[in-house]
Amino acid sequence: MRSSKILFGLAFGGLTLALLTPQRSSASNPYLDAPPGDEMVTTPAYRYANATDDEVRAWIAERNLPFSEILETVPGVRHPGRLTGPLHGVWVHGTDPTHAAALPYEIIDGRLALALDDFCAVLAASQIVELLHFTIYRPSAKLTDSGVELTRHSGALAIDVGALKQADGTWLRVKRDWSPSPGAKTCGGGERVPESESGKRLQGWVCEARKLGIFHYALTPHFNPAHADHLHLEIKPKVRWFLYN
């Protein structure tokens, strides 16, 4: 396991990142957390999402990530590739791992791969060995031949996590274990805690990702019924806030 494991802080390019406390929110949106600009630009989410392709390649090489770059153009994706091995011992795969190498929804931007590497370090510290997702890349029907770079799933910068497998073989499933309460807070004080112990663990990892500034957005079963069965984790260029709900 690489020595760059992310636990309670991140050593990133020689700059140590302290934990970020989600205490600032907008009066119009209680889920929105906007840190000061000088703090936000040092977070992993911001640095990954706004990195150049050359920077992404360098960081991937430095970490020796199991990431195979796709050389041909993938519509909407800036730095497309596929994960070819586990991250910190955590196998990240979709619902059909046997054919993962050929499935489009397994395509991932290198920027999200870096964020997932950080997140999987957190999961590995709690004996998680597999992450099952529903989708990463979803091509946009609106994308033309203009080569426009997209965001969210259309840019392979978001992942929908459905379940996590523990080292003892048991699964924690979002749909089964996280009792939804649409509109309730997920992190940052005053949050609604799921009833099951498995649900509490899932929520704990999401909120740890917020403390570490790994993703810009985390949409959970508390967000709306459409997210009752998964955790939407996303990084996005130019965004200077976090939204975990």
In a structure prediction context, what are the per-residue pLDDT tens digits for the chain, which is 245 residues long? 343 333 323 333 332 233 333 334 444 677 788 888 899 999 999 999 999 999 999 999 999 999 999 999 899 999 999 999 999 999 999 999 888 788 899 999 999 999 999 999 999 999 999 999 999 999 886 665 555 678 999 999 999 999 999 999 999 999 999 999 988 889 988 889 988 999 999 999 999 999 999 999 999 999 999 999 999 999 999 999 999 99
Residue 107: inside a domain, yes or no? yes
Q: How many domains does the chain have?
A: 1
Establish if 4 belongs to a structural domain. no
- Candidates 129, 119, 126, 136; CA nearest to 207 is 119
Asked if the structure places residue 31 within a domain, the reply is no
Query: Could you list the residue range(s) of the whole structural domain that residue 83 is in?
Result: 10-25+37-139+150-244
d(CA 157, CA 108): 7
The model's pTM is 0.86
User: Domain with 201 in it: what CATH number?
Assistant: 3.30.1380
Contact 145, 173 (CB under 8 A): no
**Cα 180 from Cα 42, distance rounded (Å):** 32
Q: Which residues, in sequence order, are CB contacts of 169 under 8 Å at separation 6+?
A: none
Which tokens in the block code for residue 98?
């046997």
